Amino acid sequence: MSETTNSKNVRDDEIDLLDIFKRMGNSLGKMFIFLGRWLLISIVFILRNWLPLLVSIVLGGGASYLLRSTSAPIFISEMVLRTNTPPASDYIAHVTRLYYFCRDKNLSALMESLSINEAQARNIIDISVYWIIDRGADGIADNVDYMNKHDVHDTINVRMLDRMNIGVKVKNPQELHLIKKGIIQFIISDSLFQQRNRVRLKQNKELISRLEFDISQLDSLQKIKYFEETQRMNQPGNGQMVFLQEQKTQLIYEDIYDLLERKQSLEASGMLYKDIVTVLSDFSIPGRRKNGTLFYIKKVIPIFLGITFLILLFIHNRKRLKEIFIKY
C-alpha cells in the first residue's frame, strides 16, 4: 500500500512539474504575442501619423537651435594635480569647498578663495574634483570617477592616493589660467598642507644624508675587502678562501647600487615634486562649447515627440475617453 502511495505521489509531482513548465511556456507565449501586437500597432500608428511626428521633430530642432543661440555658452576643461603629500582625500575634501561656493552662488567666498574679482567669479559656473581610478593597481591612471560610484572595497581597481582630477565649467575659457592659479594658491595656502610638505622635505633630506653615510661606509668596507683579498691572492694554497671572499664582495656591490637608487629617487622627488602639488595635466582651452545645438537636441526633441504622441493618442481615442468620462 505504501509503495502504491509513493508511486502515486511521484506521478503527481511529475504531473505538477509538467504543468508548471506548460504554464510558463503559455505565459511566455502570451507575453511575446502581446509585445509583438503592441509593436505592430506602434509601427502602424507612426506610419499613419508620420507628418505630425516629423513636424514635432522639426520644431524640436528649431527650439534647440533657439535655446543654443539665447543661452550662455558653457565650456568644460580639466586639470590633473599630483598631491606630493598623500592622501589625496584631504585635498579633495579641501577643493570640494569651491564646489559648494559655486553651487550656492557664494561669490564673495569664491572671490576670496581664488583671489579673483567679481566679474571673474561670475564667469565660473562649477568647480568639481574627482578621484582617479587605477585599474589593476599597476600605478597607472586609467579613468576618472565622474559619477563617484567607485567601490571603495575593490582591491583590484583602486583610487589613486597621490593625484586628483579637477574639472571646471566656465562661460569664458580665456580665463582658465586665472582659475588654475587661484585653485593652486587655494591649496598651497592651507597651513596644514604647508606643514606636511615641510616635514616631507625634511625627512627626505635626512634620509638622503643617512643613505650617503651608509654608501660611504659600504664603499670603505669594499676597499678593505679588496685589500684583504689582494693579500690572500699572494699567499699560496688559499684559492678556495679567495673565491668565498669574492662572493661577499659582490654582495656589497649590490647593496651599494640599491642605496644609490634610493638616494637618486629621493633627490629626484625633491627636485620634481618640491611643492605641495604638481600640475600633471593643465587646463586646455576647449574647441567647442558643451551646450551646443546637439546638447539641446538630445533633450528637447524627445520632449516634443512625447507631447505629440500624447496629443495624437488623445485625438484617436477621444470617443472612448468621452464614453468613459460620461460613464463614471
Please state the length of the chain: 328
Give 243's pLDDT tier (boundaries 50, 70, 90). Answer: very low
Each residue of 27-78: pLDDT tens digit?
Answer: 888 888 888 888 888 888 888 888 998 999 999 999 999 999 998 899 999 9
Say which DSSP state 154 is in.
-
Higher model confidence: residue 154 or residue 25? 154
Q: Which residue has the cell 615634486?
A: 273
The pLDDT score that the predictor gives to residue 24 is 82
Confidence band, pLDDT 50/70/90 cuts, at residue 314: confident
208-227 pLDDT, tens digit per residue, is 999 999 888 887 776 666 54
Q: Which string of DSSP letters, residue by residue, matches 187-224?
A: HHT-HHHHHHHHHHHHHHHHHHHHHHHHHHHHHHHHHH
- Name the least confident of 62-71, 244-253, 289-298: 244-253
Alpha carbons 262 and 254: distance in angstroms, whole number: 13
Tens-digit pLDDT profile for residues 198-210: 999 999 999 999 9
pLDDT at position 322 is 73
Rounded to an integer, the average pLDDT of 184-199 is 95
Q: What is the pTM of this model?
A: 0.74
Q: Is 63 left (phi over 0), alpha (psi -120 to 50) or beta?
A: alpha
Across 243-269, average pLDDT? 74
pLDDT exceeds cutoff 70 at 119: yes
Average pLDDT over residues 283-298: 91
> 302 pLDDT band (50/70/90 cuts)?
very high
Residue 25: the pLDDT is 81
Are the C-beta atoms of 170 and 176 separated by less than 8 Å? yes
Half-sphere exposure of 244 (CA within 13 A, CB side): 5
Three-state secondary structure readout of 73-85:
CCEEEEEEEEECC
Mean pLDDT of the chain: 85
CB 88 within 8 A of CB 162: yes
Answer yes or no: are the C-beta atoms of 113 and 178 closer than 8 Å. no
pLDDT band at 242; cut points 50, 70, 90 = very low
Residue 244's pLDDT band (boundaries 50, 70, 90)?
A: very low
Per-residue b/e over 240-277, b at no fewer than 16 CB within 10 Å? eeeeebeeeeeeeeeebeebeeebeebeeeeeebeebb
Query: Which cell numbers hold the place of 33?
Result: 504575442
Distance CA 7, CA 153 (A): 53
pLDDT of 4 above 60: no
Q: Which residues pair with 80 in a beta bridge?
A: 165, 281
How far is the C-alpha of 73 from the C-alpha of 171, rounded, in Å? 6
